Amino acid sequence: MSFNSNFVWGAATAAYQIEGAASEDGKGLSVWDMCAHIPSFVKGNHTGDHACNHYYRYKEDVQLMKEIGLQAYRLSISWPRVLPDGTGRINEKGLDFYDRLIDELLENGITPYVTLFHWDYPHELFKKGGWLNPDSSDWFAEYTRVIADRLSDRVTNWFTQNEPQCYIGLGHSNGTHAPGLKLGQAEVLQATHNSLLAHGKAVQTLRQYSKQPCQIGYAPVGITSFPETETPENIEAARRHTFSITEPTFWMNTWYMDPVFLGHYPEDGLKVFEPWLPTIKPGDMETINQPLDFLGLNIYHGTPVKMGADSKPQLIGNHDGYPQTSMRWTVTPESLYWGPKFFYERYGAPIVITENGMANLDWVNLDKQVHDPQRIDYMHRYLQEYRRAATDGVDVKGYFYWSFMDNFEWAEGYNERFGLVHTDYRDGKRTIKDSGYWYRSVIQSNGESL
């Protein structure tokens, strides 16, 4: 059985992870440029200064996308590349790059899906308080207007922000990602609220200024629980665990999603976070709650849950020797069934898997090929579960493998390889892996070969 005829098959990357040219052609600094140069912030003291040199090799990369058969490519815009100070002065050379990239994609039959913000916050705005500044949502709206004015004559599919759990939580709470802050709970929640406002204002800006009808989504982490066994009690436990807030942590779903899709913060979260709630002005929730065309979910793994004897969800520990990727993330294909199912039931928005993939220990073999059977098996298992969700009535619109090519994996540097294409960081040579060719066959059959 195949997916629907309008299902979209793609792959994804992010600007800082692949572009390089970190200080060229007028680009401003981002918080990742700042943090990557702090000793030991990134493993091996790696930086994204050169990354995959996609800024200069984008034509070659688009040809590789075409060879793999990608129908769509999810890219992000580097905010400080087009607005070096975050607001005000436009860097035409930066915009020209994205102009050329979009044109190259379209000329090769690949539909661009553009993410406005994938973590590379402008350093100049960080110095003004970043997401803590009450003007931060207006800064993001101004940036969105610049991109809409330039690209919306050709781009019709947008994502506002990628993984707020990471750039707020990891970046502002535990400090392992840029900008490397360890703020108090009240400040983290205020930054989150301002970021949600920025999302809403970006949607409003795109609706107002897009030069043609467009589709807009949002791409948080889809933190997924799944039933240990598929009994009604365990299914309910997994659903409740996916959407509950029981402790003051940033690693959850509803605080980032309920305002966007339902127009309010979740009641259990308001109780848990009551001592630290952000300033919520009249009209804020209406601004955040803008109509969206789909929900993007970044899902790599999930957590097994059963209903406890006390009628509360109970986490099940991983068994000894459980399958895992080189990132030590569990291999749990069930998460690509239950995640889309639970989120679709709660929010009613069509689902796009905006990231799913695995880090693997890949290298170029003696035969000059890259053999990665584990990745093929991983994708096969996960896509079968995603197709099961579609069969069971979940409105699924697309799948974007993470990532198109090996790249700078944030705090892990160049130590983890997620790509369908192998990158030799010494000379930049690209080699399509076996998984890339396998994925091509899946795309050609629209999933029927799974």
Instruction: Enumerate the known binding-site residues for substrate.
Output: 17, 118, 162, 300, 402, 409-410
Q: Are β-strands 157-162 and 215-219 bridged in parallel, bridged antiparallel, or unpaired?
A: parallel
Q: Report the alpha-carbon distance of residue 449 to residue 442 in Å, rounded.
A: 6
CA atoms within 13 A on the CB side of 295: 27
Residues 416 and 361: beta-carbon distance below 8 Å: no
Q: Are β-strands 421-423 and 430-432 bridged in parallel, bridged antiparallel, or unpaired?
A: antiparallel
Taking Cα atoms as reference points, which of 314, 296, 102 lies closest to residue 199?
296
Helices (H), 348-449: 373-391, 434-444
Helices 136-151, 92-107: inter-axial angle, 10-degree rounding: 50
Out of 19, 228, 334, 355, the active site residue is: 355
Residues 251 and 169: beta-carbon distance below 8 Å: yes
Give the three-state DSSP class for 50.
Answer: coil
Out of 163, 228, 334, 385, the active site residue is: 163
Which residue matches tokens 């688009």? 62
Q: Report the alpha-carbon distance of residue 139 to residue 198 in Å, rounded.
A: 8
The residue ranges of DSSP E strands in 2-71, in sequence order, are 8-12
Q: Is 163 a catalytic residue?
A: yes
Length of the chain equals: 450
Q: Report the alpha-carbon distance of residue 129 to residue 71 in Å, rounded.
A: 39
Distances in whole angstroms, Cα of residue 36 to Cα of each of 23, 39, 74, 166, 314: 14, 8, 24, 16, 39
Q: Report the alpha-carbon distance of residue 138 to residue 197 in Å, rounded.
A: 9
Q: Report the alpha-carbon distance of residue 28 to residue 337 in Å, rounded.
A: 41
Binding positions are 17, 118, 162, 300, 402, 409-410
Q: Is 355 a catalytic residue?
A: yes
Distances in whole angstroms, Cα of residue 333 to Cα of each of 13, 135, 358, 380, 389: 22, 41, 12, 9, 12
Enter the tokens of residue 380. Answer: 């096969």
Q: Report the alpha-carbon distance of residue 19 to residue 169 in Å, rounded.
A: 25
Tell me which residues are annotated as active site. 163, 355
